[in-house]
Amino acid sequence: MRLAVIPGDGIGPEVINEALKVLGEVARDVETVEYDLGAARWHSTGELLPETVLTEIKQHDAILLGAVGDPSVPSGILERGLLLRLRFELDHHVNLRPARLYPGVRGPLSGNAEIDMVVVREGTEGPYVGTGGLLRKDTPHEIATEVSQNTAFGIERVVRDAFARAQRRPRKHLTLVHKTNVLTYAGALWSRIVEEVSLEYPEVSVAYQHIDSTTIHMVTDPGRYDVIVTDNLFGDILTDLAAAVTGGIGLAASGNLDASRTNPSMFEPVHGSAPDIAGQGIADPTAAVLSVALLLDHLGHGDSARRIEAAVAFDLATRDHSATGNTSSIGDRLAALVSSRE
Ligand code: NAI
Ligand code: MG
C-alpha cells in the first residue's frame, strides 16, 4: 500500500501520527511518503500545490490528510489553492461522511437515538466551482454572482454511489436532500436522476426532504436517516450538523473519493487544524483513526477497517469522557486494542 501523507498544520501532524500508529497494527506493508503542504510551506516558499508534487501524489494508492490552515494565512488561500484544488484535480466527486453515535458517547441531544447514517455529498460541482465574479466592485452597485453548477453526469455518479452504499447497508434507505421547491432547475435534475437510478435498486426505499426540514429532523429524529445524498453546499452544512449530533468534531471522519478509481482518494478528519489547542497534545485523534478505517475500506481491506472501528467503539464505550484527552495515549490505546483483535 503506497500512501501519500499530508500531516498539515496545527493538530494535523499530531492526529496523523496516531492514525499511522493504528494503521501500522493492521497493515504491515505500508509505504508512506510525507508531503509538507499547508500553511508552513506557503509561508516559507509561497507554494500551495506545485505541479511536481501533484504528479507524485497521483502515483499513490490513497492520501491521508491531517488538516491545513493557520490564522496567519488569509482566508481562502489554502482552501481554494490546496484543499479544493486537490479535490478538483483528483476528481473527488464523492465526499463521504459517515455519522454514527457510538455507545458511551453523549451527544447534545436528549434521549439519544440510535444514529448511524452516511452522507454522500457531491464534491466537484454546486456553488463551490468558482463560476461567478464581481461587477462594479467597490461601488454601491456592486454585483456578486456565484453560480451553482449541476451536470447530469456529475449528479448521476454520486447518486449511483449512494444507491450502491444503501444497497449494502441493513436498512437500505436513501434520502435525497435538496430544495427542489425553490431551486427548481437543479432540483428537477437531481430528482429525476434519483428516480431513474432507483429503478435499478428496487430493494432501496427512497425518500425526499428539503434541506431546511432536514436540519430540524437531524436534531429531533436523526435515527431516521440511513444514506443521504445531496449537493456540495447542502452536504457541507448538513455534515457539520451530523457530526455535532453524534458527539462532535473529534470523532467525525471523511473520505474524498474518486469512485472511478482513476485518481487516489483522500481521507481526512472533518475537523481543521485547531490552532487553539495545537501543540498541547490534547487533540482527539479518533477522527483521524476512523478516517484510516474509511481508507482501508476503500482499498478493499474491509476486515481491517472493521477491526479499527471495533477498537474505536470499545475505547469510546469505556473512555472517561469527562477528562481531557491525551492524543498519544488515545492512539496507544487504540493501537493496542486493534492489535489484540487480530
Ligand atoms: P477546527 O475544526 O480546527 O476547530 C474547531 C474547534 O474544535 C476548536 O475549538 C478546536 O480546538 C476543536 N477541535 C477540532 N478538532 C479537534 C480534535 N481532534 N480534538 C479536540 N478538539 C478539536 O475549526 P476552525 O477553528 O474553524 O479552523 C481552524 C483552521 O483549520 C482554519 O485555518 C481552517 O481554515 C482550517 N480547517 C481546515 C480543514 C481541512 O484541512 N480540511 C477543515 C476545517 C478547517
Ligand atoms: Mg465544512
**What does the alpha-carbon distance between residue 270 and residue 307 come to, in Å, rounded to a whole number?**
21
Percentage of residues in the chain having pLDDT higher than 70: 99
pLDDT tens digit sequence for 227-240: 999 999 999 999 99
Domain assignment of residue 312, yes or no: yes
CA–chain centroid gap for 145, Å, is: 27
Domain assignment of residue 333, yes or no: yes
- Asked if 86 and 124 sit in the same domain, the reply is no
Domain assignment of residue 328, yes or no: yes
User: Is the pLDDT reported for residue 76 higher than 90?
Assistant: no
Nearest CA to ligand 1 atom 4: 274
Ligand 1 site-directed mutation target among 63, 249, 267, 280, most atoms within 8 Å of CB = 249
Q: What pLDDT score does 111 carry? A: 67
- Asked if 133 and 196 sit in the same domain, the reply is yes
Total structural domains in the chain? 2
- Asked if 240 and 336 sit in the same domain, the reply is no
- Asked if 333 and 286 sit in the same domain, the reply is yes
Q: What does the mean pLDDT of the chain come to?
A: 95
User: Is the pLDDT reported for residue 325 higher than 90?
Assistant: no
- Asked if 132 and 208 sit in the same domain, the reply is yes
Alpha-carbon distances of 239 from 24, 51, 218, 228, 248, rounded to whole Å: 29, 31, 10, 10, 11
Domain assignment of residue 37, yes or no: yes
- Asked if 86 and 142 sit in the same domain, the reply is no
Domain assignment of residue 204, yes or no: yes
Last residue of one domain, picked from the residues 194, 216, 245: 245
Query: Domain range spanning residue 147?
Result: 108-245
pTM: 0.94
- Asked if 216 and 312 sit in the same domain, the reply is no
pLDDT tens digit sequence for 213-232: 999 999 999 999 999 999 99
- Asked if 91 and 27 sit in the same domain, the reply is yes
User: Is the pLDDT reported for residue 80 higher than 90?
Assistant: no
User: Is the pLDDT reported for residue 67 higher than 70?
Assistant: yes
Q: Domain containing 175 — which CATH number?
A: 3.40.718.10
Last residue of one domain, picked from the residues 210, 245, 280: 245
116 is catalytic: no
- Asked if 9 and 115 sit in the same domain, the reply is no
Q: What is the ipTM of this complex?
A: 0.97
Last residue of one domain, picked from the residues 226, 245, 264: 245
* Residues within 5 Å of ion ligand 2, judged at the Cβ atom: 236
Nearest CA to ligand 1 atom 33: 69
- Asked if 152 and 223 sit in the same domain, the reply is yes
Q: What pLDDT score does 99 carry? A: 95
* Ligand 1: nearest atom to the Cα of 73: 32
- Asked if 135 and 241 sit in the same domain, the reply is yes
Q: Is 273 annotated as a binding residue?
A: yes
- Asked if 217 and 264 sit in the same domain, the reply is no
240 is catalytic: yes
Nearest CA to ligand 1 atom 13: 274
Domain assignment of residue 103, yes or no: no
pLDDT tens digit sequence for 112-152: 678 999 999 999 999 988 899 999 999 999 999 999 999 99
Domain assignment of residue 101, yes or no: no
Domain assignment of residue 29, yes or no: yes
